[in-house]
Amino acid sequence: MAEHYSSFDRKGTRWLLQRVTAAFLVVVLAYHFMLLHFVNHAAEITFAGTTARMTQVGYFSTMVMFLITAAFHGVNGVYNALINQGLEGTQKSVVKWVLVAAGGLLVVQGVRVALAMTNIV
């Protein structure tokens, strides 16, 4: 049988954060899906309705946390998948910083859109 290998140290912070963010994403994605597909059907979703939801502090903060958590979870997962494939040395460092920059830009742009949807900015 093949030996199990993972770049995650099961006692490490990245391993724990990957699991915690996954649990958070499952819960918030279920809430998001229920709200926007069962409570409000797709045909009923409007720009004005989105703006109204985003002006609620609880909804706004939940969606921003959803964005930040999803970005971290994705970047961390891709990084560790590449390490599992044998990425080392300078390439590992370059990929890490490219992924950090891409995740950061994603979060910044997502927060800008979320703020624009509140009509505050």
Summarize pLDDT for 71-101 with one digit per residue, the tens: 999 999 999 889 888 888 999 999 999 999 9
3-state SS assignment for residue 84 = helix
Q: Is the pLDDT of residue 26 over 70?
A: yes
Instruction: Provide the residue ranges of all domains of the chain, joining segments of one domain with +.
Output: 13-117
The two three-digit tokens of residue 108, written as one number = 């910044």
pLDDT band at 8 (very low <50, low <70, confident <90, very high): low
Residue indicated by tokens 């971290």: 72
Burial class (CB in 10 A: 0-12, 13-18, 19+), 48: exposed
Supply the CATH classification number for the domain 13-117. Answer: 1.20.1300
Q: Quick one: pLDDT at residue 7?
A: 59
What number of other Cβ atoms are within 10 A of residue 79's Cβ? 20
* This model's pTM is above 0.85: no
